[in-house]
């Protein structure tokens, strides 16, 4: 590892924004530039650290890396345990990238000091949640994120901000209450008799102390909290309000990072701690996810407010992520993890762009906008790229995740995947229609002669666009890091339940490929009979009746 292996990089990543927030709080209000620079420097430093983390992260290692463990409240088995694996790694990087952008991009019109301080606290909360391996610590960070977000929406939002922020807060808190109970129940039941009390999720997962109905109830309690956060239909209605009323940076972080706490929580805690319950209840969650996909898309088509439209598109996209999670295949889960990152990038970018339009026109009503492409060709071009990524155009990032999710779901839950694929059509419909109404046509009234993107705006969008294209063309470095951890998680689920991943989805596919490469060579050499055995070998796999997993073939 490049950074000395005893350097506590994870704790540093969490601590830097907190310290910076304290510093910002101590700075005088009269020095806005200084405040901004401190905030930006801190978030950039975190960004750099996360990138360093990603580079030092060893691909191919399935377990947690960079674990830093300190005792905290020993009597209750609560510790400060941070660690990162392939599932959380890119969410941390995503936070590291999005926060500086959100801090630097949109202009802040009042009380910069509190704003920057809250944003930094938020950053620490988000990253802390992704890194915590202690249930209690996670809960702490998870709840901490609420407070700054509440103030950011309520303080710097638009007309209806108070309603939106209270709704956001109460909705989320409502879910968390279940989780708190579930968490305590789990820890209590796990500690009964033999073992000491612990909140360490690695230990809890190993013990697997709860089972049957108990596990299902506790699982549901966890899912309640995460479902609100995701948000899953039908507990999604806080999202459009919060997104619409939040300031641009708030929306970016909310969509880009905060929602991922929900999906990440389901993967990390739901699947790891309650494998059997997760498998049992998968149909329910898959159904909710599919409803979310279709429903979010339908509702998005008739929105009159551009920001609300993007918010509903998030509901649909997050539905895909949950779908892939409960597909219980390598592809589905990897796709979900990747899609969390993709959605953060593309929806974050969309919110930034909508914010830029708002800065110029002071309206988000689609009906009041038209012909913007005429005067803002660059902004329109960037919007097009981001939109196409959100639609899931191959070659851009959205497609890779979406496709993996759908194909992974198809092999285990065929009809859910079929219905979800309809969502792909609808995504094109609502976004293109919105684009047409906003950017196409001949500009009239106030829409004439608007200035194109400023340098600052270009600086902000450039990294996002680059990442959108890069992850679409070459997602392999990311997937290579995600895959082993996902593999491990699925192995964990399989070892605790009767569930078995279909052989095509597991490594067998690679075997087949290796075999068929042989065939191709033979075929080229015109040894026509060469393909018989491999064909038969594969036939079993196709019917799902293969003898189980084959070893991995390295190429």
- Closer Cβ to another protein, 148 or 275, answer by number: 275
Q: Judged by CB under 8 A, does residue 335 bind another protein?
A: yes
> Which one among 193, 455, 524, 547 touches another protein, defined by CB under 8 A?
524
- Token pair for 68: 């830093």
Q: Judged by CB under 8 A, does residue 62 bind another protein?
A: no
Q: Judged by CB under 8 A, does residue 495 bind another protein?
A: no
- Closer Cβ to another protein, 198 or 334, answer by number: 334
SS3 of residue 396 by DSSP: coil
> Which one among 376, 404, 450, 467 touches another protein, defined by CB under 8 A?
404
Q: Judged by CB under 8 A, does residue 279 bind another protein?
A: no
Dist. CA 27–CA 16, nearest whole Å = 16
Q: Judged by CB under 8 A, does residue 357 bind another protein?
A: no
- Do the beta carbons of residue 318 and residue 297 sit within 8 Å? no
- Closer Cβ to another protein, 138 or 399, answer by number: 399
- Closer Cβ to another protein, 56 or 516, answer by number: 516
- Token pair for 337: 């993890």
Dist. CA 169–CA 145, nearest whole Å = 10
Q: Judged by CB under 8 A, does residue 541 bind another protein?
A: yes
Rounded to the nearest whole angstrom, what is the least distance from the CB of residue 350 to another protein in the complex? 17
- Token pair for 320: 């895909």
Rounded to the nearest whole angstrom, what is the least distance from the CB of residue 267 to another protein in the complex? 15
> Which one among 526, 547, 548, 551 touches another protein, defined by CB under 8 A?
526
- Do the beta carbons of residue 493 and residue 271 sit within 8 Å? yes
Q: Judged by CB under 8 A, does residue 424 bind another protein?
A: yes
- Closer Cβ to another protein, 74 or 480, answer by number: 480
Q: Judged by CB under 8 A, does residue 242 bind another protein?
A: no
Q: Judged by CB under 8 A, does residue 393 bind another protein?
A: yes
- Kindly identify the residues of this chain, within the stretch 290-309, that bind another protein according to CB under 8 A: 295, 298-299, 301-303
> Alpha carbon 204 to chain centroid distance?
24
- Closer Cβ to another protein, 111 or 452, answer by number: 452
Q: Judged by CB under 8 A, does residue 418 bind another protein?
A: yes
Q: Judged by CB under 8 A, does residue 85 bind another protein?
A: no
Rounded to the nearest whole angstrom, what is the least distance from the CB of residue 101 to another protein in the complex? 23
Q: Judged by CB under 8 A, does residue 49 bind another protein?
A: no
Q: Judged by CB under 8 A, does residue 499 bind another protein?
A: no
Give the residue from 474, 475, 401, 487 showing the smallest Cα distance to 60. Answer: 487
Residues 206, 211, 214, 215, CA torsion sign: positive
Instruction: Work out whether strand 78-84 and strand 65-73 pair parallel, antiparallel, or are unpaired.
Output: antiparallel
- Closer Cβ to another protein, 26 or 524, answer by number: 524
- Do the beta carbons of residue 341 and residue 241 sit within 8 Å? no
Q: Judged by CB under 8 A, does residue 13 bind another protein?
A: no
Rounded to the nearest whole angstrom, what is the least distance from the CB of residue 108 to another protein in the complex? 30
Dist. CA 387–CA 350, nearest whole Å = 7
Dist. CA 356–CA 352, nearest whole Å = 6
What x-and-dash track marks residues 166-205 binding another protein by CB under 8 A?
A: -x---x----------------------------------
* Angle at CA of residue 527, ends 522 and 528, nearest 5°: 105
What x-and-dash track marks residues 128-167 binding another protein by CB under 8 A?
A: ---------------------------------------x
Looking at the chain, how many residues does it have? Answer: 555
SS3 of residue 548 by DSSP: coil
445: left (phi over 0), alpha (psi -120 to 50) or beta: left
CB neighbourhood size of 63 (10 A): 12
Which runs of consecutive H residues, i.e. helices, occur in 7-111? Answer: 9-26, 32-56, 86-104
Q: Judged by CB under 8 A, does residue 373 bind another protein?
A: yes
What x-and-dash track marks residues 472-491 binding another protein by CB under 8 A?
A: -xxxx--xx-xx--xx----
Q: Judged by CB under 8 A, does residue 520 bind another protein?
A: yes
- Closer Cβ to another protein, 32 or 463, answer by number: 463
Give the residue from 157, 102, 155 showing the smallest Cα distance to 126. Answer: 102
Q: Judged by CB under 8 A, does residue 350 bind another protein?
A: no
Q: Which residues pair with 80 in a beta bridge?
A: 70
- Do the beta carbons of residue 124 and residue 94 sit within 8 Å? no
Q: Judged by CB under 8 A, does residue 329 bind another protein?
A: yes
């Amino acid at each position: 590892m490049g950074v000395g292996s005893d350097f506590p990089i994870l704790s540093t990543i969490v601590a830097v924004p907190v310290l910076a927030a304290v510093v910002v709080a101590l700075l005088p209000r009269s020095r806005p530039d200084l405040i901004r620079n401190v905030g930006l420097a801190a978030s950039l430093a975190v960004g750099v650290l996360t990138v360093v983390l990603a580079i030092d992260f060893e691909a191919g290692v399935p377990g947690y890396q960079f674990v830093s463990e300190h005792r905290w409240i020993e009597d209750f088995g609560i510790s400060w345990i941070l660690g990162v694996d392939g599932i959380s790694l890119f969410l941390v990087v995503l936070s590291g990238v999005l926060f500086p952008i959100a801090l630097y991009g949109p202009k802040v019109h009042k009380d910069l000091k509190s704003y920057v301080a809250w944003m930094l606290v938020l950053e620490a909360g988000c990253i802390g949640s992704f890194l915590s391996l202690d249930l209690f610590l996670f809960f702490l960070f998870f709840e901490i994120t609420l407070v700054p977000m509440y103030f950011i929406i309520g303080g710097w939002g638009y007309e209806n901000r108070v309603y939106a922020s209270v709704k956001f807060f109460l909705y989320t808190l409502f879910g968390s209450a279940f989780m708190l109970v579930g968490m305590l129940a789990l820890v209590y039941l796990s500690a009964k008799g033999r073992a000491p009390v612990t909140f360490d999720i690695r230990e809890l997962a190993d013990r697997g102390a709860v089972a049957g109905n108990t596990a299902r109830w506790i699982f549901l309690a966890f899912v309640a909290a995460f479902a609100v956060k995701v948000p899953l239909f039908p507990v999604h209605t806080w999202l459009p309000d919060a997104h619409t009323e939040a300031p641009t940076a708030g929306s970016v972080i909310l969509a880009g990072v905060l929602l991922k706490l929900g999906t990440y929580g389901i993967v990390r805690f739901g699947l790891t701690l309650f494998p059997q319950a997760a498998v049992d209840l998968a149909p329910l969650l898959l159904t909710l996810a599919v409803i979310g996909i279709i429903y979010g898309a339908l509702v998005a088509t008739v929105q009159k407010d551009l920001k609300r439209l993007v918010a509903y598109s998030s509901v649909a996209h997050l539905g895909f992520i949950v779908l892939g999670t409960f597909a219980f295949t390598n592809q589905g889960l990897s796709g979900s993890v990747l899609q969390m990152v993709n959605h953060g990038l593309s929806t974050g970018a969309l919110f930034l762009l909508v914010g830029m339009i708002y800065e110029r026109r002071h309206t988000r009503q689609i009906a009041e906008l038209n012909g913007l492409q005429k005067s803002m060709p660059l902004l329109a071009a960037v919007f097009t790229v981001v939109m196409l990524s959100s639609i899931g155009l191959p070659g851009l990032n959205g497609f890779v995740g979406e496709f993996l999710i759908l194909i992974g779901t198809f092999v285990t839950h065929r009809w859910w995947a079929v219905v979800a694929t309809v969502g792909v059509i609808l995504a094109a419909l609502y976004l293109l229609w919105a684009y047409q109404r906003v950017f196409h046509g001949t500009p009239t009234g106030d829409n004439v002669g608007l200035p194109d993107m400023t340098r600052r705006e270009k600086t902000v969008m450039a990294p996002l666009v680059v990442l959108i294209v890069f992850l679409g063309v070459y997602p392999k470095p990311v997937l290579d890091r995600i895959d082993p951890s996902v593999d491990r998680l699925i192995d964990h689920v399989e070892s605790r339940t009767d569930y078995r991943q279909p052989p095509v989805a597991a490594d067998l596919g690679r075997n087949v490929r290796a075999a068929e490469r042989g065939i191709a060579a033979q075929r080229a050499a015109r040894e026509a009979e060469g393909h018989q055995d491999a064909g038969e070998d594969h036939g079993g796999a196709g019917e799902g009746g293969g003898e189980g997993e084959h070893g991995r073939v390295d190429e």
